[in-house]
Structure 1
Amino acid sequence: MNTRELVDAMDRVTASLQVPISIDDALAEITTAAVRTMPAIDHASISITGSDGKIRTLAPTGPLALQIDELQYSLAEGPCLDAVTDDPIVRSDDLRADGRWPRFGPRAAELGIGSQLAFQFRSESHVRGAVNLFSEGVGVIGPDDVQLGYLFANFAAAALGWNRTHETLTIGLSSRQTIGQAIGILMERYRLDQRRAFAFLVRTSQTGNIKLYDVAAGIVADSESRAE
């Protein structure tokens, strides 16, 4: 990425800031960003429970993500079910061979999903949700994917007005600080809340075809140069 590319992308995104962003659009930005920034992840979605206890899917990145979620709901087993109902993080590196979900795992593999991550978040009323990250490969999820998954779960929770309660974000310190700095700069510069500042980062990444971290690093560097 060069400075001109970043500036051009930011200009285009700035022009779009006057357009109100709905909660559906905000969540779609999050799942799309997860797929774009995590090489091992091919599909993503968000599952939430309603006041009636039923689980539904929001912001799937495509029909396969929705199909895999609905398969878990219908079978009453799978990583997203475990994350929504119990565990703060659920990981499977090989769904077909994973004995925790004897019905779901083989079916998911037949549909082309080899691995999955799910991250729980909660509302103050104890309604729960999960960010679901799917990979078509087996054994391809790495530590960076787990760390970034926490980040996207935090943003999903923030977009919904919910809270992450179980663990501190463990993304690498340098990356976490850079992304956080960039969000703070955008909040101050454009008078945005956290959700829209994150949407700004994602839109700039997509508009300029620039990695999310590189966008954040460029914004921080630009702010530092202005302060000199």
Structure 2
Amino acid sequence: MAQELGDVWEKFAGALADMARDLLAQDSVQATLDRIVEHATVLINGCDEAGILTVRRGEVRALAATSDVVRMADRIQQDLCEGPCFDAVTDRRQLYVIEDLRQPHEQWARFAPELRKLGMGSMMGFLLFTEDDELGALNLYSHRPGTFDEQAQRAAWVLASHAAVAFSAARTHQQLGHALETRHEIGEAMGILMERHGLTEDSAFKVLKKASQDHNVKLREIARKICETGEKPT
């Protein structure tokens, strides 16, 4: 029995390593998120559906989902202001499990019956990351009650931990890319102002900054418009 269990975990570790390589190979944050939920349904025993969402200031935003049923579950949490993710905002619990959605659930008395109507039998959720007042969660669903035993919970926790790292890395890479693009556009716009309008470097940047403040438009957008038109902003 112990040998058999060891073989299962060894196989899972290999599959997890393959997942990690696959996630790092994705070229965008969205592609990374989509692959995470796909891997969850393959690697976690009994997992039929999976989704990733964030909760920020009480508003739910679905980031990735394996089906429309998962998106509907996210909307239910939003409409009811009740569910695992809302509780996670306040107490930062790492794991949530509803073992049997057929039974009355005191903590989520309205949310659980709505999930039953969607054909769900059990679910569990994992905290992925927090940034300021934003929370991210990986939610796993099964059509059958009592699916997620201790082994499934442990495996899902390991998967969620890897997913959180991959998600964070993808988001950091994207932010860095945007920052470099912004820096390039601002530099190009300043060059245009200096060459065509006889401004110094300091004056050119002040023109960009003032236009951004006066029009309540991001500096990057002001710079992009200058690059397109060659005109000094009013």
Q: TM-score scaled by structure 2?
A: 0.56
- Give the structure 2 partner of residue 40 of structure 1: 46
Q: CA RMSD in A?
A: 2.9
Instruction: Say whether 1:140 aligns with 2:161.
Output: no
Choose 1 or 2 for highest CA Rg.
2
Q: Which amino acid aligns with 2:29?
A: I
For structure 1, the 5+ residue unaligned runs are 1-9, 163-192, 194-228
| Residue of structure 2 aligned with 1:29, choices 3, 13, 35 | 35
Q: Secondary structure at the match of 1:59?
A: strand
Indicate if the aligned counterparts of 1:83 and 1:118 stay in contact, CA closer than 8 A: no
> Quick one: distance in 2 between partners of 1:160 and 1:126?
18
| Residue of structure 1 aligned with 2:112, choices 102, 105, 111 | 105
Q: Which amino acid aligns with 2:51?
A: S
1:115-154 matched pairs, under 5 angstroms? 115-125=122-132, 127-154=134-161
| Residue of structure 1 aligned with 2:80, choices 75, 83, 96 | 75
> Quick one: distance in 2 between partners of 1:153 and 1:116?
14
> Quick one: distance in 1 between partners of 2:26 and 2:117?
40
For structure 2, the 5+ residue unaligned runs are 1-17, 174-234
Q: Secondary structure at the match of 2:76?
A: helix
Q: Tell me how far 1:126 sits from its aligned partner.
A: 5.2
Q: TM-score scaled by structure 1?
A: 0.58
Indicate if the aligned counterparts of 2:83 and 2:108 stay in contact, CA closer than 8 A: yes
Indicate if the aligned counterparts of 2:52 and 2:136 stay in contact, CA closer than 8 A: yes
Q: Deviations over 1:54-88 (max 9, x none)?
A: 22111101111111111112111122332344222
Indicate if the aligned counterparts of 2:55 and 2:86 stay in contact, CA closer than 8 A: no
Indicate if the aligned counterparts of 2:34 and 2:64 stay in contact, CA closer than 8 A: yes
> Quick one: distance in 2 between partners of 1:160 and 1:53?
22
